[in-house]
Structure 1
Amino acid sequence: MTVLWPLADIPRLAAGIPGSIDDRVRLIDDDLASQLAAGGRLDTLLKALEFATQPGLDPDGKLASSLCIGIDPDLLVTVSNMTRGYLVVDNPADPASSAREGSGSGAAAQWLTRLEALASNTCVTALPFAQADLAAVADIGDSSLLSSAVAAPADIVDGILGISSVRGFTWSATGGVDAGAADALRSSGTGTVLVADNSISPPTSSPTSLLVSTDTAPTAADPTGTLAATHYDSATAAALAGVGTTPSTPALTPANQRFDLGTDSRTARLQDALGAINFHALVGADRPGRTVTVAPPQYWTAGGDEPSAILSTVSSLLRSGLATPRPLPGLITEPPTGIPVTSIDVPTDLDASAIDTVRTQSARVDTLAQSLVEDPQSALTPRLYTAPLREDMLRALSTAGRASAEGDDAAAMARTRLTATRVGLDTVYGSVTVLAPGGVYTLASEQSPLLLVARNDLPVPVNVLLRVDAPPEMTISDVGVTQLPARGSRTITVPAEVDDKRNLSVDFSVTTLDGTRLGEVSTVSVRSNAYGQALAIITACAGALLLLLAGRRLWHRFRGQPDPADEGYERP
């Protein structure tokens, strides 16, 4: 038996705020403080693990070896930031507005310290960031977003907790992966994905099977055969999802097995879950060697005595010999023994417009990141600055709460988050611009340069290109890439050639390296003192006339004749 134990929450960080070294984080509410405090949901889930795996109750370590803690890196990032003090915004739709002091810094620090101690000697795996819908992430087709969803989480968990978590393993939040998500997981380095047993076809009792995109068995050279699927019992998962303050129904639960969980008491739902866990051990006693993986929903609202009752049931099965521990690391490193299987598409609660919005805004984050420059003198790197904005996209794709009565609230919060992220990105993009000079810019000659000032209000340097929209009478040379310092400005010398004496209007703006406009367009009125070819002819004629008159005067002087031009000016 393998038991996954999730520690996750709905996304709490306010959206649309780039990364910072010194600024305190902002949360959309302070509910997490009560969950981390004594008696709260996350405190109870962690305390149940601490109690059940202590040497006095688990002397041979069977329960501890069968367990693996699944940690949402989004929760860990939030709690870690809470320990340094945080703010709670009054309006989640406007995260930059007024805010109040958060109350959970102390509880966050204590909870995190306890988790570090437990994780140091317990199996830990990172969940997809913010429990994102992997099918939606794959559909967006952004490699950076995919990496943030399934590759970066292990680094985040390891960095905060100081451990080495299980790598190459992904636990699907929806219980399944479609063909697109499976291909995306292969490309991201995932070797094994955990799904519900009713999400793959044909049904198999083998612990792991190759997951292929078609029903054709993969060949040795076929890269689609590099992803294995291990499965958990969907019936037990559905029973566990019914436990807690906000019961939910997994997406893959058959229609004939769905009912209003609110009609059952909380005690009855717990008994159903305990019975489901015991069922396979008791019924399968005559079939030794069978593997059962128990996986509650990632966002699990079990609380009170419920987590302890569930772990106590598992511990009793292990002590009695009705079950034996099967550590997750060993399970996923075994070669697949079952026949190849294909995945069944999982219904999603995300609407197409939300996915399209994430696709658009995620591309803007990538575009910005490619133009930012690392400053060796600053701790704030382009990656740290843009990471929260990209993670906001994943929070908007979170599955947390969508399968329960909170589903409408979760969907509404996702829309609010996307709007706030768009506004935040607009602000970031608008922070780099060309300053419009006042009055008319006068060129000394027809080939004099223009001097423009570009301003960068971002806390990181940025490389920009100058975009010019000039009339045909004016030629502007390309100045190439210009680096603007963090929170500073730079004068750009722009070679220009004007073949007109009128006032000309020229539009200037700066763009990212791929040509996406930053800031507002600045219109410059340009006038040249040069008159082009006409001025050159007039100057030549005047010079010739001057030479002629000077020559005539010298001619008369050499011959000793008075110059007629001097008549009336003779000296007395």
Structure 2
Amino acid sequence: MNPSDFFRSTDTYRAVGVRRQDRARRVRALTGSILAAGLIAAIPVGQAGPVGTAAAQGHELLGAPDGPMSQWRNPSVREDDAASGIEIRLDTPLENIDLGTKQLVNLTIENRSEQVVDNLSLRFQRADAVEDTAAARLSLTDHQSTYGYTGPFTDVAGPLRPGDSVTVALPLDTAPGSPDGLGIGAPGVYPVMINLNGRTGEGIIRYLTSERFLLAVTDRTTGSLHTRTSQENPAAEVPGITMLWPLTAPTGLVAGETGEAPMSAPLLLENDDLAAQLQEGGRLDRLLDIYLEATDGESGSALREATCLAVDPQLIEVVDRMRAGYTVATERLSPVSDTPRLRDSWRADSAAPRAEQPGGGAVAADAWLARLRTAAGQGCTVALPWAGTDINAVSRTGNQWLVREALSRGTSIIADVLDTEPERNLVIPLSGYVTESTAAWLPLADTTGPADTVNPESAWELLQQQGLPTVHHPADTAALEDPAMPEPYPRAAFPAPATGVRVLVTDNSVWGAPARGRFTGLGPGVTGVSYEGSLAATLAATGPEPLTVGYSNPETRHDPNLDSERARLTTGNSAVRLAVDAARQSVPVDDQGTAAPEPVIIVPPAAPAAPAASAELLGTVARLLETGQARPLTLHEATTPDAATETTLSRSAGPADPNRRMDRFGPPFPDPSAPSDDEVLAATQQSNYMNDLTQLMVNDPGIALTRYAFMRPLMLDLLRGLTVIGRRNAEEYAASTAHADHIFTLNREMLEKLQSSVALLPPGYVYTRVSQSSPLLIVARNGLPLPVDGRISYLGPPGSVVHVPDQLWIPAKGSIMTQMTADLPNEPDKVTLVLRLSGSQGSVVSDPVEITVQTQGPLIGLLGRLIVGLLVLALILRLIQTKIMRRIRGARNTETHSG
């Protein structure tokens, strides 16, 4: 069976926890398939090939949400608002609201229901001031009855028919003691609700819906707010603040790319959306402009110190390649030869893509990258995981090369392309947490050690020189019989890095790890740096595409679109002020008795953020610095523990045990946005096959391309398939997982092409051997751009022994003929041998090839007897001839003597 057919006929689903019965049947199918693949790999010959995805095999898409919608949204939160069909939109920015002021707030009411509504009226209501962002998030989900402080109702002209909207000016009064006010007597952050009452159809006037947000009310003279004045510590140090400024965007890179040298491969993009974002007025252009303007000159020095550009290295690499021109295309041609003729190799016209149109963003890419290089050179820059990949999902594949590429390559890309030194050994998981098994892999994020250990390709070649496997395949069949794919761990713990690795995680994801302030020990040389998860979850809901993050409390998860974008942005800005105020009010005392507040680390969502929302958030941080409510703190200072803390945590963490299964840290709640088990399985199978194929090739000094560089783009495709970006929105999740499935499918198709280019060619006829010593001939073909160091393994009937060459060296994009001898049993008359090409470490590469050999039979027996008879006859004739010749010579001698 062809390997692609084998895997297309296999369900790649498994069960986790309690699943449906039909999913259990898929589990059994998967188990049998993996077991069959494992057994085949254990014998001398069998099937080989890359693994596809469920969608490619004719099943439902990978990553379809398995959990209930309640994991995304708590159905008991704001039920009336969700069912009303009436929408309120806050139109007026509510920043810097001083205590004692009164202003009109513009609102838009839109009827999206199918009924006419009339007798509409609005009023402001508020709840008690909140002390921290966690309490604030809960208050925004409370029943409307908890908003006990009310203002007067304002009537709205009506009726409002389906599809109609109306704009209303509603007075907001924060004056203490005002009869029309909300009873606000002190600065603070207050949950506010805009209550809409009305009547639908022939019903009664009742509560219809609400718009909710956090309102920061500041002191008129100081511009600050204090939510716990009785505990205020005037001597407390001003808290430091540091903020990430994410730059991410989908690149649209066509999957299935392989490396080329000395020039890079032609850049193929699925669309020109990235160019539109880079051009003047585009999203990425505006985000960079906002940052450059806010941090420019002396006035922006404090903000520049307190912020750090967090860039997706894949975005930087693609934009850098766009400058040289690119093509908008939907498919990618195979980089391997269709024929073994060397004269056809490396022809420029053979690699030309079937393009749809040339890309138009080269100039914009060059200009944007130049400005980004300027911004990076003036301040801090840090790399996000490659393509925003989920490092927890990547570590579950058990493939260290995927982990290395996800965590270490970005640093070198930033250094090379942006010509600046980035923050090193700092991991920013976009999921907000790392599991305990993931922490065992994080020493691979070290980029400060020797090049042969921190550079993925150098580390690969070092393992090759040492004769060690690059991938740990299962050594026994027992593990394969387990119906649930086990959580993969490294066979041996990676050594602790010389310079510690730091990981930014939410404060609610490290509940059991040894802690000292904001720092937690996640393992030898791996330190967690906590930031406020409730603040990050609040900021994630800002912008036009609000997110539901996996570390958020399920009790607070509701449809964020129930509140307008302006209301959510107001909530986000107020939450930042509240977090800074709470840090100052709740000051821990260190070992020397000094009051030192923990810094506020602001981690906005690494998602395609709206420039307007990002600008307001940046402005809030700038105002906190200008008014002295916070002081600038560099990202390095905020994330680097002192020597005493590092020593204490290292001792508490103890020795690394990659097989330990404990719940000391990880996702605090169910994460509906995490990549599915099916996707992780597909990435695992494909990445392991990539490693086997890479190991089959041999670097050639005469060829600029290396084997690792040839396969690297395919590994990076898998990281894109496991990205976090796009998954954390309930409405966009299905489209994101469908795109991931598309990437896995294209990657699989390219692997199949590469796999089929290295093959043993069947002779196409039956070998008829005259004797046991007759050789068997077979042709080996290599369509890869590097030589192949292969081995021929076989499978035959009992008693078969095939004497194969110890090594089979196939030139790059060429072929060779090799011969073998075989000791085969005489019965039956025809013997079928199955041959396969594998790597030097036994990894399966080529499809199996069958050779049928005619060992004996009537024809061969008759031929043998005839030959023996002829030999005997020839011998008899030779003896007769000799005897006759002797008699003739004897007669001649007698005649001579007689004469």
| TM-score (structure 2 length as normaliser) | 0.56
Aligned counterparts of 2:514 and 2:368: Cα–Cα separation in 1:
40
**Are the aligned partners of 2:250 and 2:274 in contact in 1 as well (CA < 8 Å)?**
no
Q: Name the counterpart of 1:567.
A: none
The amino acid of 2:506's aligned partner reads A
| Offset, 1:200 | 2.0
Q: Name the counterpart of 2:175.
A: none
Aligned counterparts of 2:666 and 2:845: Cα–Cα separation in 1:
43
Equivalent position SS for 2:599: coil
Aligned counterparts of 2:790 and 2:290: Cα–Cα separation in 1:
54
Aligned counterparts of 1:231 and 1:45: Cα–Cα separation in 2:
26
**Structure 2 residue 383 is the aligned partner of structure 1 residue 126:** yes
Q: Name the counterpart of 2:666.
A: 344
Distance 1:99 1:434, change over 3 A: farther
**Are the aligned partners of 2:692 and 2:845 in contact in 1 as well (CA < 8 Å)?**
no
The amino acid of 2:556's aligned partner reads Q
Distance 1:197 1:503, change over 3 A: closer
Match of 1:281 among 555, 580, 586: 580
Identity of aligned residues (%): 29
| Offset, 1:174 | 0.6
The amino acid of 1:383's aligned partner reads Y
Aligned counterparts of 2:260 and 2:554: Cα–Cα separation in 1:
47
**Are the aligned partners of 2:373 and 2:418 in contact in 1 as well (CA < 8 Å)?**
yes
**Structure 2 residue 790 is the aligned partner of structure 1 residue 464:** yes
Match of 1:511 among 830, 834, 838: 838
Match of 1:6 among 243, 246, 250: 246
| Offset, 1:500 | 6.6
Distance 1:162 1:550, change over 3 A: farther
Note the alpha carbon deviations across 1:234-271, whole angstroms, 9 max, x for none: 23222322222212122111123223222222222222
| Offset, 1:295 | 0.5
| Offset, 1:543 | 5.3
Q: Name the counterpart of 1:228.
A: 527
Distance 1:149 1:24, change over 3 A: same
| Offset, 1:428 | 1.0
Q: Name the counterpart of 2:228.
A: none
Equivalent position SS for 2:441: helix
Aligned counterparts of 1:535 and 1:166: Cα–Cα separation in 2:
85
Distance 1:544 1:135, change over 3 A: same
Match of 1:292 among 585, 600, 621: 600
Distance 1:517 1:202, change over 3 A: closer
Alignment of 1:524-539 (within 5 A): 524=851, 538=869
Match of 2:361 among 79, 88, 104: 104
Q: Name the counterpart of 2:679.
A: 354
Alignment of 1:420-435 (within 5 A): 420-435=746-761
Alignment of 1:38-437 (within 5 A): 38-58=280-300, 61-90=301-330, 99-186=356-443, 188-189=445-446, 191-201=501-511, 208-212=518-522, 224-286=523-585, 287=587, 289-303=597-611, 305-335=612-642, 336=645, 342-345=664-667, 347-348=670-671, 349=673, 350-404=675-729, 405-437=731-763
After superposition, the CA RMSD in angstroms is 3.3
Distance 1:533 1:177, change over 3 A: same
| Offset, 1:56 | 4.6
**Are the aligned partners of 1:16 and 1:424 in contact in 2 as well (CA < 8 Å)?**
yes
Which range is displaced more, 248-257 or 430-439?
Answer: 430-439
| Offset, 1:373 | 1.5
Distance 1:536 1:496, change over 3 A: farther
> In proportion to residue count, which structure has more helix?
1
Distance 1:48 1:207, change over 3 A: farther
Equivalent position SS for 1:250: coil
Distance 1:101 1:519, change over 3 A: farther
Equivalent position SS for 1:192: strand
Which range is displaced more, 268-277 or 342-351?
Answer: 342-351
Aligned counterparts of 1:493 and 1:307: Cα–Cα separation in 2:
68
Q: Name the counterpart of 1:35.
A: 277
Aligned counterparts of 2:824 and 2:744: Cα–Cα separation in 1:
46
**Are the aligned partners of 1:447 and 1:498 in contact in 2 as well (CA < 8 Å)?**
no
Distance 1:472 1:408, change over 3 A: closer
Corresponding residue pairs, total: 548
**Are the aligned partners of 2:535 and 2:579 in contact in 1 as well (CA < 8 Å)?**
no
Note the alpha carbon deviations across 1:158-193, whole angstroms, 9 max, x for none: 232232222211011111111111222145546210
The amino acid of 2:697's aligned partner reads L
Note the alpha carbon deviations across 1:136-167, whole angstroms, 9 max, x for none: 22222111111112123222322322322222
Distance 1:522 1:181, change over 3 A: closer
Match of 1:489 among 815, 818, 826: 815
Distance 1:137 1:473, change over 3 A: closer
Aligned counterparts of 1:461 and 1:208: Cα–Cα separation in 2:
52
| Offset, 1:469 | 4.3
Distance 1:206 1:298, change over 3 A: farther
Distance 1:448 1:168, change over 3 A: same
Gaps of 5+ in 2: 1-240, 336-352, 447-499, 588-595, 654-663, 894-899
Aligned counterparts of 2:695 and 2:398: Cα–Cα separation in 1:
18
**Structure 2 residue 266 is the aligned partner of structure 1 residue 17:** no
Aligned counterparts of 1:279 and 1:111: Cα–Cα separation in 2:
35
**Are the aligned partners of 2:518 and 2:531 in contact in 1 as well (CA < 8 Å)?**
no
Distance 1:271 1:443, change over 3 A: same
Equivalent position SS for 1:4: strand
Gaps of 5+ in 1: 213-223, 563-572
| Offset, 1:535 | 7.9
Note the alpha carbon deviations across 1:439-484, whole angstroms, 9 max, x for none: 5556686424334321111222222222334567875312122222
Aligned counterparts of 2:557 and 2:847: Cα–Cα separation in 1:
54
**Are the aligned partners of 1:431 and 1:518 in contact in 2 as well (CA < 8 Å)?**
no
Aligned counterparts of 2:551 and 2:850: Cα–Cα separation in 1:
58
**Are the aligned partners of 1:247 and 1:301 in contact in 2 as well (CA < 8 Å)?**
no
Aligned counterparts of 2:632 and 2:396: Cα–Cα separation in 1:
37
Which range is displaced more, 455-464 or 386-395?
Answer: 455-464
| Offset, 1:98 | 5.9
Aligned counterparts of 1:546 and 1:256: Cα–Cα separation in 2:
107
| Offset, 1:194 | 0.1
**Are the aligned partners of 2:383 and 2:411 in contact in 1 as well (CA < 8 Å)?**
yes
The amino acid of 1:302's aligned partner reads A
Distance 1:283 1:442, change over 3 A: closer
| TM-score (structure 1 length as normaliser) | 0.86
| Offset, 1:210 | 2.7
**Are the aligned partners of 2:427 and 2:445 in contact in 1 as well (CA < 8 Å)?**
no
Note the alpha carbon deviations across 1:47-77, whole angstroms, 9 max, x for none: 222111111532xx22212212111122222
Aligned counterparts of 1:298 and 1:483: Cα–Cα separation in 2:
47
